[in-house]
Amino acid sequence: MNIYERLIENPLFFKWIYHPSPELEDYWQKYMQLNPDEARYIDDLKRQFDQMRYSESEFSLIEKKTIAKRILEQLDLIDRKEKRIRLLKSISQYAAIALLFFTVGGGSVYFWLKPNQPDFFAEQTAIPVNSSEPVLILNNKDKIDLKGKESVLDYSKRDTIMLNGGHVVNADKDNNNPVMNQLIIPYGSHSKVCLSDGTVVWLNAGSRLVYPSRFIKKTREVYLIGEAFFHVHKNPDQPFIVRAGGQDIKVLGTKFNVSAYPEDDIIQTVLAEGSVSLHTEGAGFFSKDLKLEPNQMASFNKNSRNTKIKSVVASNYTSWTKGLLSFHGADLSRITKKLERYYNIHINYQNPLQSTIPITGKLDLSQGRDNAFKYLEQAAGVIFVKLNENNYEVK
């Protein structure tokens, strides 16, 4: 029996949470002092219950038992009948028990209920995005180098892919099992993709998108690392889902921007038109999906697992698709990070405090890095010093 099971079956643990008293507090504090190896587990479980107790009334006893049964199956306890019965009985006494199983084993349970990212995507994530040219991978083997900083891919004609308006590549012709394509855009480049359903995706620098050559399932699913702007073709019978950095964005037909770079602590989803709902992996079984309205942004913190929603000017977050960079009160470091990706350069700060200088304005990225630096030097009162071809320092 592991520590979680022992805590579940210990009535003093639940009394401590739901009916605290000085005596119980003293008991558990002494227990943790005598059992330091268990202290962090106890603290963690108590904190989880304290944060999520409000959800008790949202589910009936039958629903909680069903949830617990599923999770017990995932935890490989379902065959141990006596133990299962004891745990299910605990639900009758302590309504929040289902919360425990999910918050302890959140990741595994979530992926039991939902499919993982495709193996194809996982295997290819090692391909560096800072290579010199964009790459299209057709079927895990065939790779096509896309020349130039800008590329356009068109899947609208059946069984073919048009590259940059001219070159035609044969797509798969398997009607039952379309292959997954992966588009990798390095720093310094960007791309536009017209998917087979009519959805248009603008892919920013340092990003990759995985998608089927045709959508034949009940949902249209794509996988994103990096940043992309989506103009989704409306189809109520086949919802469109973007899986990005632990979040799922579900839409029917809309325009929105997603920024989910692995090195960033925050995943941002900005809605321009229509509506979207967001589901976060590991946020808790009882957490509800969040819905955005136009000109709202959801910011998901990967570390705290919290999401905040605020009103924004959506065009400030989508103007990059037109070669513009708009910002209002943004830290200088956030702007230079975007410049690093767009121009494939590295910018270092001599004084870290300079990175927090707030900046408001708009940059035309097509005018080149030197013009961008001149504007930021005037706006922030700093100097960009060129160290070599691709490295700069802010002083």
Are 267 and 341 members of one domain?
no
Predicted confidence at residue 55, as pLDDT, reads 40
pLDDT: which is higher, 202 or 44: 202
Predicted confidence at residue 175, as pLDDT, reads 59
| Lookup: tokens for 318 | 């989508």
Q: What is the CATH number of the domain that holds 161?
A: 2.60.120.1440
pLDDT: which is higher, 283 or 74: 283
pLDDT: which is higher, 286 or 270: 270
Are 347 and 304 members of one domain?
no
Could you report the per-residue pLDDT of 130-170, keeping only the tens digit for each?
467 888 888 756 888 887 788 899 988 877 888 887 777 77
DSSP string, 176-217: SSPPEEEEEE-TT-EEEEE-TTS-EEEE-TTEEEEEESS--S
Burial class from Cβ neighbours inside 10 Å (0-12, 13-18, 19+) for residue 100 reads buried
Are 105 and 75 members of one domain?
yes
Q: What is the CATH number of the domain that holds 381?
A: 3.55.50.30
Under the banding of pLDDT at 50, 70 and 90, the label for residue 282 is low
DSSP state of 105: S
Q: Name the strand (E) or helix (H) holding 75.
A: none
- Residue type at position 351: N
Predicted confidence at residue 140, as pLDDT, reads 56
pLDDT: which is higher, 328 or 50: 328
Please identify, among 261, 286, 315, the residue that sits at the C-terminal boundary of a domain. 315
Residue 368 belongs to what domain range?
A: 323-394
Predicted confidence at residue 318, as pLDDT, reads 94
Number of folded domains that form the chain: 3
Are 157 and 303 members of one domain?
yes
Could you report the per-residue pLDDT of 224-277, keeping only the tens digit for each?
999 999 999 999 899 999 998 778 899 877 999 999 998 888 999 999 999 899
Predicted confidence at residue 179, as pLDDT, reads 77
pLDDT: which is higher, 253 or 124: 253
pLDDT at 289 over 70: yes
Are 73 and 168 members of one domain?
no
User: Mean per-residue pLDDT for 99-108?
Assistant: 33
Please identify, among 52, 86, 113, the residue that sits at the C-terminal boundary of a domain. 113
Predicted confidence at residue 68, as pLDDT, reads 44
Are 288 and 369 members of one domain?
no
Predicted confidence at residue 50, as pLDDT, reads 54
User: Mean per-residue pLDDT for 182-201?
Assistant: 93
Are 308 and 327 members of one domain?
no
Per the CB < 8 A criterion, the answer to whether 239 and 220 are in contact is yes
In order of 169, 205, 333, 368, the CA distances from 315 in angstroms are 34, 18, 20, 21
Please identify, among 285, 315, 345, the residue that sits at the C-terminal boundary of a domain. 315
pTM of full prediction above 0.75:
no
Percentage, residues of the chain above pLDDT 70: 71
pLDDT at 21 over 90: no
Are 188 and 99 members of one domain?
no
User: Mean per-residue pLDDT for 335-354?
Assistant: 92
pLDDT at 92 over 60: no
Integer-rounded Cα radius of gyration of the chain: 25
- Which stretch of 74-78, 346-350, 358-362, 368-372 has the lowest confidence by average pLDDT? 74-78
Predicted confidence at residue 198, as pLDDT, reads 94
Could you report the per-residue pLDDT of 212-232, keeping only the tens digit for each?
888 988 999 999 999 999 999
pLDDT at 374 over 90: yes
Are 308 and 338 members of one domain?
no
Predicted confidence at residue 256, as pLDDT, reads 95
Are 26 and 172 members of one domain?
no
Are 310 and 327 members of one domain?
no
Residue located via tokens 């089927």: 212
Are 340 and 296 members of one domain?
no
Per the CB < 8 A criterion, the answer to whether 191 and 151 are in contact is yes
- Which stretch of 16-20, 156-160, 335-339 has the lowest confidence by average pLDDT? 16-20
Q: Residues for the chain: how many in total?
A: 395
Average pLDDT of the residues of the chain: 76
